[in-house]
Amino acid sequence: MNIKNNKKIKLKLIKNFTNNYTWILYKKNNCVIVDPGEYKKILHIIKLYKLYPKLILLTHYHYDHMMAVNSLLSIWPKIKIISPKNIYYINKKEQINFFYILKEKIFGKSIKIINTPGHALYHVCYYISNYLFCGDLLFNSGCGKIYNNLYYEMYKSIQKIKSLPQNTLICCGHDYIKYNLIFTMKIIPNDKFVKNFYKKIKKSNKETINSLKIEKKINLFLKTSNFYLRKQLSKKEILKPFECFCLLRKMRNVF
Ligand SMILES: [Zn+2]
């Protein structure tokens, strides 16, 4: 799948393993690789498009998001790598609260880093132009699993994403959109927008990249401050947004 968002910067999505997404952002012959999973598939695209990898961005340290790093480095030893821990290293004196902007630019655009623990303690998102590479923080109509009980961290991380521009394109690390929408319809069965969206997606075999504006309509984890949702999910008192978030994530775990 190729996405032309900017006249010169293009995005290529590579499906790897069963449902992982590796992203290649490129301009002319230079490229950035986000979360490189399956080496052979990535190499195939790099050669096909005659690209030269300048930079690897890692959202977190799960093997399926970084398995191709060593193989890529063995061919292009000068590739720079930006990953959560070396961001902490650069910035160790102050915690990254919202945007940490790297001095380094790519294709003339700044690389903004958002600290987003939750799925993993060391997890960041990268915002370049209006692309958000969000790893396993947010998925289409869903969010990543939470390990080590980092519920509050995950909740806070998702709140940060909500304040990005509406036209932000959500480039996630996996895709479970159909199943996530079925879950969403179970929770909010009367939502016509979600129903229609599911109908459209069900027929299509294409990968989906949604804007933040659309995700806010179809993603329950971005709706946890919604009064009706909080009321509907509670047996007694109306849930607080964070309680609503935890409950939804636990329900999704066993769905
Ligand atoms: Zn992960």
Residues whose Cβ atom is located within 5 A of ion ligand 1: 62, 136
Q: How far is the CA of 33 from the centre of ligand 1 (A)?
A: 17
Tell me if 103 is assigned to some domain.
Answer: yes
Give the 3-state secondary structure of residue 32. Answer: strand
- 170, 134 Cβ separation under 8 angstroms: yes
Please, which residues bridge with residue 13 across strands? 23
Q: How far is the CA of 196 from the centre of ligand 1 (A)?
A: 30
Whether residues 106 and 231 share a domain: the answer is: no
Give me the domain span that covers residue 206.
Answer: 181-253
Q: How far is the CA of 27 from the centre of ligand 1 (A)?
A: 28
Q: How far is the CA of 166 from the centre of ligand 1 (A)?
A: 25
119-142 residue pLDDT tens: 999 999 999 989 999 999 999 999
d(CA 224, CA 238): 12
Domain-ending residue, one of 171, 189, 208: 171
- 42, 68 Cβ separation under 8 angstroms: yes
Q: How far is the CA of 125 from the centre of ligand 1 (A)?
A: 12
Strands (E), 156-246: 169-171
Please, which residues bridge with residue 111 across strands? 128
25-59 residue pLDDT tens: 999 999 999 999 999 999 999 999 999 999 999 99
Q: How far is the CA of 62 from the centre of ligand 1 (A)?
A: 5
Q: How far is the CA of 61 from the centre of ligand 1 (A)?
A: 7
Q: Is 122 exposed, middle or buried (0-12, 13-18, 19+ CB in 10 A)?
A: middle
Location of structure tokens 């479970």? 176
Whether residues 24 and 114 share a domain: the answer is: yes
Q: Is 115 exposed, middle or buried (0-12, 13-18, 19+ CB in 10 A)?
A: buried
Structural domain tally of the chain?
2
Q: How far is the CA of 137 from the centre of ligand 1 (A)?
A: 8
Looking at this protein, which amino acid is placed at residue 69? Answer: V
Domain-ending residue, one of 116, 140, 171: 171
Whether residues 117 and 38 share a domain: the answer is: yes
134-178 residue pLDDT tens: 999 999 999 999 999 999 999 999 999 999 999 999 999 998 999
**Mean pLDDT score, 5-13:** 81
CATH code, domain carrying 165: 3.60.15.10
Q: How far is the CA of 147 from the centre of ligand 1 (A)?
A: 9
Q: How far is the CA of 103 from the centre of ligand 1 (A)?
A: 27
> Do the bridges between strand 80-82 and strand 142-143 make them parallel or antiparallel, or are there none, so unpaired?
unpaired
Whether residues 105 and 197 share a domain: the answer is: no
172-209 residue pLDDT tens: 999 899 999 999 999 999 999 999 999 999 988 888 99
Kindly tell me if the per-residue pLDDT of 12 is higher than 90: yes
Of 174, 161, 183, the residue nearest 249 (C-alpha):
183
Residue 236: partners with Cβ closer than 8 Å, 6 or more residues away? none
